[in-house]
Structure 1
Amino acid sequence: MATLDDLRAALAGHTVVDLTAAPPSRADRAVPPTGDREPTGDREPTGDREWERHAALAVPTSGSTGEAKAVLLSADALRASAELTHRRLGGPGTWLLALPTTHIAGVQVLVRSLVAGTEPGVMDLSPGFRATGFAAAARPVLAVPGRHYTALVPTQLARLVAADGPGLAALRRFDAVLIGGAATPPSLLARARGLGVNVVTTYGMSETAGGCVYDGVPLGGVRVRLDGGRVELAGPVLALGYRGGERFGEWFRTGDLGRLGPDGALEVLGRADDVIVTGGEKVPPVLVERVLTAQPGVLEVCVVGLPHPEWGQVVAAAVVPADPAAPPDPDGLREAVRAAVGRSAAPKSVAFLPRLPLRGPGKVDRTAVATALATALTTTPATAHHPQP
């Protein structure tokens, strides 16, 4: 876990903060992991390790697609990320830390505070994230003159919105609330913004010193391009490389798919290895999830591909109903997706679960969801498969 003093020394070049040295604790698992992306082909030879000496921070990737790696970030990249964030948000301010500092999201709250010259507030997460605890931690932060910021993951935002009490009241007073670590359902964003919360969605990873694209627009100096649908990033926030591995070149090739809107804004469509191929059609799960979470009676959704002997995979949806006693009609959910995304994207399997398995708040464990879906559909075949995708 990184401390303010550790990071102050690291930014000054006196030490390296290594967050990869110990196995994850319960607190580690409380933050959705970031990164675990693919480097570009533009890399330098690995024989000379001199560049590793420029690292100020070693932060782990999630290891969700293989063995976890240690991302090495320079002090310059960390500072650039903090300065560009403040420039985008309207100036330096006082931050509330509501994320553990075992991954880049929490670390950057402290780095931004150091760069701003302000003392951050810290929420005690040992009992878990609670709306009342957030309100208590926010109180002294909001009493400081100037601008106020915090960073959350989608599950934390959802809990504050659902509680509709002192936590939400405090959240409304922040000048910006950064949301990242996982895709945020549009319905949750719309509800939070409708309640007066200034939500700013962020996209980034350990390899880019955290979020580097805010509300679809890159931070100053950050560049985005697509190569075969894959998102690639460049700019002053890019990490040096992986410890014991390759040094990054100018561009970093992520594992995510995206598309650029008419205004140039980036829309992230999820990880490339999550795409479902059913009957030869490619279905990004995020497009289906957006439609389903907007339907009445739906609280949360995760869409995965389940094996099928004829079609390769079929689209399957794990749905957490808002009211377990009155779940939405599966056929109505399918029809909504069919109308909005297309016939091939309509879930052939729908199962209602009490909750989605997580690897951290807001980071759904898709492998566990697929297992839970297979089990649920075996015991409740009425919602299982239509004859064809």
Structure 2
Amino acid sequence: MLAPVADDRAAQLIDAAVPVTEPDAAVIVTTSGSTGDPKQVVLSASAIRASASAFRQRYGAFSWTCVLGAQHVAGLMVQARDLLDRPYADGRTAISIVPTQLVRALREPSSAAELAAYDAVLVGGAAIRPALLDQAEAAGIAVLTSYGMSETCGGVAFDGSPLPGADIAIGDDGRIDIGGPMLFSGYRLDPEATAKVLVNGRLLTNDRGQWVIDDDGQRQLRVLGRIDDVIISGGVNVDLARLQRVLDARIDRPAVVVGVPDPEWGTRVVVATTSDEAVIGQWRDELRPYLEPAALPRQLLVVEAFPRTDSGKLDRRRLAEWAAQPGRS
């Protein structure tokens, strides 16, 4: 089966005249391209079954509602789990959404009530602010946070706990790497890109993480950001993911942080926002108690709306392109 692709840019990757040669290939999905060009991810039938079976082993069977497109791995896996879970057990229900959908649902009491009626609400595809999780809990929504990617058939860890069969490790450099039967077969027609991330049967991700111990004494995976979130500005390492967490926790305005090449600083820190309530000096003053000087933003980019990919993920690459345009502030 060849899954429909996300958009015209991704569609240009598909060459239907070239046969798919990967063993047991079942589906091709495209990555979102939010931080680079989209790739064709080849998923085998055995990997899809392994992922769906591992979820059922951990959480049991559900009757699933699909509101995500099947051209994206999250929507695809909802359908795979739904097929595996039939006949459904005890009438338990589940739905998979992205953080943007959760934000919008919480604005409408009727939508929030609909989500609260589900036994499990999987939320993944992007980082989730702690304040958003608190709002969902207050609304009675049983959120199950998901960590994974197209290359892992979607979620491999939920609420920080790896699924059965998912072997998650963290290297000395903080990089997360993953082994297990749910890994993808490779990037279609791109053996070089495949070789860079599939090493000795394990997936080397671009994510940084750490293990933490929860209140019950259980080890949980905490995702800290991407490897390329760490930039050098004025000769000092700046962790953009940490800066984003500070913004989310301390600033009561919508904000997204990106790094942009700069002739003086090497990379300058830019805060993009949809609010025009404050100038760059005020942002710096509000953040100064929580950040080292190099991490303070040097540019403020005001936009009407944050750009998003076809899958609903924040398009940081587009934001960086806008911020780099002459005269943007």
Q: TM-score, normalised by structure 2?
A: 0.83
Secondary structure, aligned partner of 1:239: coil
Q: Deviations over 1:8-65 (max 9, x none)?
A: xxxxxxxxx1126x67269x99xxxxxxxxxxxxxxxxxxx99713122222223455
Could you say which residue in structure 1 is the equivalent of 2:78? Answer: 109
Q: Counterparts of 1:82 and 1:336 in 2: how far apart (Å)? A: 45
Could you say which residue in structure 1 is the equivalent of 2:57? Answer: 87
**Residue 251 (structure 1) aligned with residue 195 (structure 2):** no
Match of 2:144 among 185, 193, 200: 200
- Per the TM alignment, residue 274 of structure 1 is displaced from its structure 2 partner at its CA by 3.7
**Residue 18 (structure 1) aligned with residue 2 (structure 2):** yes
Structure-to-structure mapping, 1:300-379, within 5 angstroms? 300-321=254-275, 327-328=277-278, 330-331=280-281, 333-360=283-310, 362-374=312-324, 378=327
Secondary structure, aligned partner of 1:358: coil
* C-alpha spacing 1:56/1:335, structure 2 compared with 1 (3 Å): same
Could you say which residue in structure 2 is the equivalent of 1:215? Answer: 159
* C-alpha spacing 1:297/1:68, structure 2 compared with 1 (3 Å): closer
Q: Counterparts of 1:152 and 1:50 in 2: how far apart (Å)? A: 30
Match of 1:269 among 206, 224, 239: 224
Q: Deviations over 1:235-288 (max 9, x none)?
A: 121122233435744211012222232454222233323432212222232222
Could you say which residue in structure 2 is the equivalent of 1:12? Answer: none
Q: Counterparts of 2:22 and 2:70 in 1: how far apart (Å)? A: 22
Q: Counterparts of 1:297 and 1:23 in 2: how far apart (Å)? A: 33
Could you say which residue in structure 2 is the equivalent of 1:191? Answer: 135
Could you say which residue in structure 1 is the equivalent of 2:119? Answer: 175
Q: Counterparts of 1:50 and 1:18 in 2: how far apart (Å)? A: 10
- Per the TM alignment, residue 105 of structure 1 is displaced from its structure 2 partner at its CA by 0.7
Contact 1:231/1:254, CA 8 A, preserved across alignment? yes
Q: Counterparts of 2:221 and 2:303 in 1: how far apart (Å)? A: 32
Could you say which residue in structure 1 is the equivalent of 2:186? Answer: 241
**Residue 294 (structure 1) aligned with residue 246 (structure 2):** no
Q: Deviations over 1:317-361 (max 9, x none)?
A: 01223xx6xx25654543454333433222222233321111135
Q: Deviations over 1:112-171 (max 9, x none)?
A: 00000158xxxxxxxxxxxxxxxxxxxxxxxx96211101111111100122x2111011
- Per the TM alignment, residue 362 of structure 1 is displaced from its structure 2 partner at its CA by 4.1
Which sections of structure 1, spanning at least 5 residues, go unmatched?
A: 1-16, 30-48, 120-143, 381-389
Question: One-letter code of the match for 1:261?
Answer: V
Q: Counterparts of 1:224 and 1:340 in 2: how far apart (Å)? A: 31
Could you say which residue in structure 2 is the equivalent of 1:229? Answer: 174
Match of 2:43 among 61, 73, 97: 73
Secondary structure, aligned partner of 2:29: strand
Question: One-letter code of the match for 2:51?
Answer: S
* C-alpha spacing 1:266/1:145, structure 2 compared with 1 (3 Å): closer
Contact 2:35/2:316, CA 8 A, preserved across alignment? no
Question: One-letter code of the match for 2:138?
Answer: G
Question: One-letter code of the match for 2:211?
Answer: L
Question: One-letter code of the match for 1:286?
Answer: A
* C-alpha spacing 1:54/1:342, structure 2 compared with 1 (3 Å): same
Question: One-letter code of the match for 1:178?
Answer: L
The sequence identity of aligned pairs, in percent, is 38
Q: Counterparts of 2:20 and 2:100 in 1: how far apart (Å)? A: 41
Contact 1:154/1:361, CA 8 A, preserved across alignment? no
Q: Counterparts of 2:251 and 2:28 in 1: how far apart (Å)? A: 44
Instruction: Give the RMSD, CA atoms, in angstroms.
Output: 2.9
Secondary structure, aligned partner of 1:310: coil
The number of equivalent residue pairs is: 311
After superposing the two structures, state which structure 1 stretch, 49-58 or 308-317, moved more. 49-58
Contact 1:269/1:286, CA 8 A, preserved across alignment? yes
Could you say which residue in structure 1 is the equivalent of 2:94? Answer: 149
Q: TM-score, normalised by structure 1?
A: 0.71
Q: Deviations over 1:39-95 (max 9, x none)?
A: xxxxxxxxxx99713122222223455553322222222122112223333x10111
Q: Deviations over 1:355-389 (max 9, x none)?
A: 111113541212221233345x9365xxxxxxxxx
